[in-house]
Amino acid sequence: MSIRFENVRKAFGSKVVLEDVGFEVGSGECFFIIGASGVGKSVLIKHLIGLLRPDGGSIYLDGEEVSRLTEKEFFSVRKKCAMVFQNSTLFDSMTCAENVALPLRKHKRLGAKAALKEALERLDTVHMREFANAYPPELGDGMQKRVAIARALTLDPRYVLFDEPTTSLDPVSARRVDQMIRELCDEVGVTSIVVSHDLRSIFGIADRICMLYKGHVRMLGTPEDFQTTDDPVVQQFINGRAEGPMEV
Ligand X SMILES: Nc1ncnc2c1ncn2[C@@H]1O[C@H](COP(=O)(O)OP(=O)(O)O)[C@@H](O)[C@H]1O
Residues forming a β-bridge with 65? 60
The site partner of 102 among other proteins, Mg ion, ligand X, none (C-beta below 5 to 8 Å per kind) is other proteins
Q: How far is the CB of 226 from other proteins (least distance, A)?
A: 29
> CB under 5 to 8 A by kind: which of ligand X, other proteins, Mg ion, none does 37 bind?
ligand X
Beta bridge partners of 39: none
Identify what 196 binds: Mg ion, other proteins, ligand X, none; CB under 5 to 8 Å per kind: none
Assess 37 for contact with ligand X (CB under 6 A): yes
- The answer to whether 115 contacts ligand X (rule: CB under 6 A) is no
* C-alpha dihedral sign at 86, 26, 210, 183: positive
CA distance from start to end of the chain = 33
Residues near other proteins, by CB under 8 A: 12, 46, 49, 51, 71, 75, 78-79, 82-83, 85-89, 91, 102-103, 106-107
Number of residues that bind Mg ion (CB under 5 A): 1
Residue among 39 and 123 whose Cβ is closer to ligand X: 39
Strand order in the sheet with 64-65: 64-65, 56-61, 3-12, 15-25, 216-221, 208-213, 30-34, 191-195, 159-163, 81-84
> Of 42, 115, 44, 103, which is closest to residue 75 (Cα–Cα)?
103
- Residue 39: contacted member of Mg ion, ligand X, other proteins, none (CB under 5 to 8 Å, by partner type): ligand X
**Strand 56-61 relative to strand 3-12: parallel, antiparallel, unpaired?**
antiparallel
Instruction: Tell the smallest beta-carbon distance from residue 130 to other proteins (Å).
Output: 24
From 25, 29, 31, 40, residue interacting with ligand X (rule: CB under 6 A):
40
Among ligand X, Mg ion, other proteins, none, residue 17 binds (CB under 5-8 Å by kind): ligand X
* Angstrom distance (rounded) from CA 214 to CA 6: 17
If one asks whether residue 95 binds Mg ion (CB under 5 A), the answer comes out as: no
Strand 191-195 with 159-163, pairing = parallel
Within a 10 A sphere around the Cβ of 173, how many other Cβ atoms? 17
Instruction: By CB under 6 A, tell whether 41 contacts ligand X.
Output: yes
116 is an interface residue for ligand X by CB under 6 A: no
- With binding defined as CB under 6 A, does residue 197 bind ligand X? no
42 binds Mg ion (CB under 5 A): yes
Q: Which is nearer to ligand X, 42 or 67 (CB)?
A: 42
H helix runs in the chain, sequence order: 41-46, 71-80, 96-107, 112-125, 141-153, 171-183, 199-205, 223-228, 232-239
**Would you tell me which residues interact with ligand X (CB under 6 A)?**
12, 17, 35, 37-43
**Would you tell me which residues interact with Mg ion (CB under 5 A)?**
42
